[in-house]
Amino acid sequence: MGTDSKDAERFLRQRRSLVRWLKEQGYLNSDAVANAVLKVPREEFVPSAFRDHSYAETPLPIPGANATISCVHTYCLYYEALDLSPGDRFLEIGLGSGYGAALARELVGEEGKVVSVELDEETYQFGKERLERTGYHDVFTVLDDGSAGHVDLAPYDKIAVTAACPGEPAEILPQLTSPGRMIYPAGGDAYQYLMLTELDANGEKSSRCLTTVIYVPLRGRHGKRP
């Protein structure tokens, strides 16, 4: 993975410290998500210039237009709310660095499926390469307009949109199973509401706001207009 044994041990200590902090702050309650954060080496998903800041709770720039790897606590918010579990078919809109897809792969296991769509070609190549070099060869990555989801491999048990939407992603929702869950940030440019939409076994929909967040705008045909 490009990390010597001394650095690997240092980064592992930092992951353990971060997990303790996330639990203390109330961001992390699930053992499954905690174990995924402990296992996935975030330092391998950031550019080399920022490796020493891999476990700081701050977004870090990655290749591509206005692209970042999010704070670790936001992945905990997403995946705990989704209850991402072994066997789930999971769609991620916004591959980014690939870190979120790697965490998801740990959570859904070999019996599950992770599909991640990225619009920006430079970001896509970075994320795909990072997944491959860390051994996540079975994550299905797609270079395409994710604002419409990815109907070719639908339906999905869980869906995460990792960029700010104008409202509920109506084009993506039909790709969700019943029951199923979709999480997405919706709102303005300054901040957004992190929304969880659920379909029950009869297809009845309910939505609720979890917290406020800050994400870059969703690009593409159904994303935010400039």
Residues noted as catalytic: 70
Considering only CA atoms, which of 66, 5, 14 is closest in space to residue 40? 14
165-194 b/e (C-beta count within 10 Å ≥ 16 → b)? bbebbeebbebbbeebbbbbbbbeeeebbb
Rg of the Cα atoms in the chain: 16
Torsion of CA 110, 86, 154, 118, to 10 degrees: -70
143 is written with which tokens?
A: 């270079």
Determine the 3-state secondary structure of 107 from DSSP.
helix
H or E element in which residue 100 lies: helix 99-108
